[in-house]
Structure 1
Amino acid sequence: MHIANLDGVSLHYRVDGDPDGAPVLFANSLGTDLRLWDSTLALMPKGLKFIRYDKRGHGLSSMPPGPYSMGALVTDVERLCDHLNLRDCVMVGLSIGGMIAQGLAVKRLDIVRGLVLSNTAAKIGTPEMWNERNAAIQSGGIEPLADGVMERWFGKAFRATPEMALWRAMLVRQPVEGYTGCSAAIAGTDFYTPTSGLRLPALGIAGDQDGSTPPDLVRETVNLIPGSRFHLIRGAGHLPCVENPVEYAQTLTTFLKEIGHV
């Protein structure tokens, strides 16, 4: 385990793969930690350097007082990249991680040379929706919402497996302040204009049973970037890297090869 102390926030991160390989940076979703990528990374080709981290308020990272802004979440990973001297990364972001990836690419093209926008969008939901959800969580905790979240996260077949209980447990053990802090960041974000100005290799990944960011929303966002690609994983929900890591890793690997990153 590694901790980077970055001007008011401490981020837990880990580095796997070839220390001299081309860097691939991963940012996970709301209510999960960096273990989200375990199954996918086990299937990726050798010769790459994989960096992943827990955003503020999640996993083993620190939890500054909320609410958070998307700018703060982007600055956190920017400082982590500078701390690790990372340049010319392909950044893979899922859900809020995809929003962070868009923000970092707009801000620091020296860090991000390619984007994978997985189960995400330039704008997710409405401020009213997020504010209502946060109010419910602050009064009653995450547990009452957990079953509904599982229906959005996973397809029907995966919800019938024992493994789903592990992800449900990860969600309900998530600190309320970290969850609502990052939810506030999503509520305040609309990246349609800045993302439409990006000119870099980009791949969109969606699950056809995703109840949080449906495929059309993901496609609409990635289509803002000229020349982008799109891949639909059937039978998967919001976390296809968990439900179908084989197809997910194959899709990532193909993209990395196409853009000369591996």
Structure 2
Amino acid sequence: MRIAKLDGLNVHYTDEGDPNGAPIVFANSLGTDLRLWDKLVPLLPAGLRIIRYDKRGHGLTDATPGPYSMGTLVRDAEMLLDHLSVKDALFVGLSIGGMIAQGLAVKRLDLVRALVISNSAAKIGMPEMWAERIRATREDGIESMADAVLERWFGKAFRATEELAAWRNMLIRQSVEGYAGCCAAISGTDFYTPTSGLRLPVLGIAGSEDGSTPPDLVRETIDLVPGSRFELIRGAGHLPCAEKPEDYARLLTTFIKETGHV
């Protein structure tokens, strides 16, 4: 296990592949840890330096007292890449990870040369919705919402598999403080204006069955960036990299090659 101590925060991360290869960084969704990408990583082209991390309040990274701001989560990612001496990365962010990706690209373009905004948007949901999610998390626990969350995460066929139990366990074992803190960060984020100013290669990925960030919401954000491309993975929900990793890997590999990130 690798831990980076960043301004007092213990951040759990992995650094795999070719240490001298082109870096690709993955930021995961609300309620998951870096294992979100386990099925995808072996399908990526050889020669990449592959970095994954648990964001604040998730997985094995410290859960500091909330609420969190998106600026704090972006700064965590920034400090990790500086700690690892990473420049010009291809940054892949899913859900809240996609928001972190947008914020990091706006703040530190030296760190990000290409962006994948997956199952995410410049703004997700309304503050009232997130306030209720935070209340339910703190008063009733994450498990009280688990079944509804899993229905948004995965398509019907995947929800019928035995693997669903593992994803449910991953969700309900996240820190209440971390989960609620990240809900607050999403609630306070509206990146429409800063994201519209980005000028770098952007790939948007959506799942046709995504109940958290529907395809039209994802497409709306991707269309903010001139020259960007939008792709839809049919039959997948909010976590297509786990549900349909081969399809996801094909899209990501094409983007890697098209941007010369090898």
Give the TM-score category using the shorter length. Answer: over 0.9
**What root-mean-square deviation, in Å, do the aligned CA atoms of Structure 1 and Structure 2 show?**
0.5
Determine if contact 1:199/1:226 at 8 Å carries over to the other structure: yes
Which residue of the partner structure matches residue 23 of structure 1?
Answer: 23
Q: Secondary structure at the match of 1:39?
A: coil
Letter of the aligned partner of 1:134 in structure 2? I
Which residue of the partner structure matches residue 107 of structure 1?
Answer: 107
Letter of the aligned partner of 2:119 in structure 1? N
Determine if contact 1:8/1:64 at 8 Å carries over to the other structure: no
Q: Secondary structure at the match of 1:138?
A: helix
Runs of 4+ in structure 1 deviating by more than 2 angstroms, as ranges, are none
Letter of the aligned partner of 2:253 in structure 1? T
The within-5 A match list for 1:1-262 is: 1-262=1-262
The one-character-per-residue Cα deviations of 1:82-103 (angstroms, maximum 9, x if unpaired) are 0000000000000000000000
Unaligned runs of 5+ in 1: none
Q: Distance in 2 between matches of 1:23 and 1:96?
A: 21
Determine if contact 1:28/1:34 at 8 Å carries over to the other structure: yes
Give the Å deviation of 1:73. 0.2
Q: Distance in 1 between matches of 2:243 and 2:46?
A: 22
Q: Distance in 2 between matches of 1:137 and 1:84?
A: 34
Give the Å deviation of 1:16. 1.0
Q: TM-score, normalised by structure 1?
A: 0.99
The one-character-per-residue Cα deviations of 1:36-72 (angstroms, maximum 9, x if unpaired) are 0010001111011100100010000011111100000
Unaligned runs of 5+ in 2: none
Give the Å deviation of 1:141. 0.3
Q: Distance in 2 between matches of 1:11 and 1:137?
A: 23
Q: Secondary structure at the match of 1:26?
A: strand
Letter of the aligned partner of 2:33 in structure 1? D
Q: TM-score, normalised by structure 2?
A: 0.99
Give the Å deviation of 1:136. 1.1
Q: Secondary structure at the match of 1:42?
A: helix
Q: Distance in 2 between matches of 1:19 and 1:136?
A: 43
Determine if contact 1:57/1:63 at 8 Å carries over to the other structure: yes
Letter of the aligned partner of 2:120 in structure 1? T
Q: Paired residues, what number?
A: 262
The one-character-per-residue Cα deviations of 1:72-125 (angstroms, maximum 9, x if unpaired) are 000001000000000000000000000000000000000000000000000000
Give the Å deviation of 1:8. 2.7
Q: Distance in 2 between matches of 1:198 and 1:154?
A: 31
Q: Distance in 1 between matches of 2:67 and 2:8?
A: 15
The one-character-per-residue Cα deviations of 1:150-194 (angstroms, maximum 9, x if unpaired) are 000000000000001100110011111000000000000000000
Q: Distance in 2 between matches of 1:245 and 1:213?
A: 18
Q: Distance in 1 between matches of 2:143 and 2:13?
A: 27
Letter of the aligned partner of 1:250 in structure 2? R
Q: Aligned residues: percent identity?
A: 72
Give the Å deviation of 1:9. 1.2
Q: Distance in 1 between matches of 2:184 and 2:8?
A: 19
Q: Secondary structure at the match of 1:36?
A: helix
The one-character-per-residue Cα deviations of 1:186-234 (angstroms, maximum 9, x if unpaired) are 0000000000000000000000000000000001001101000111000
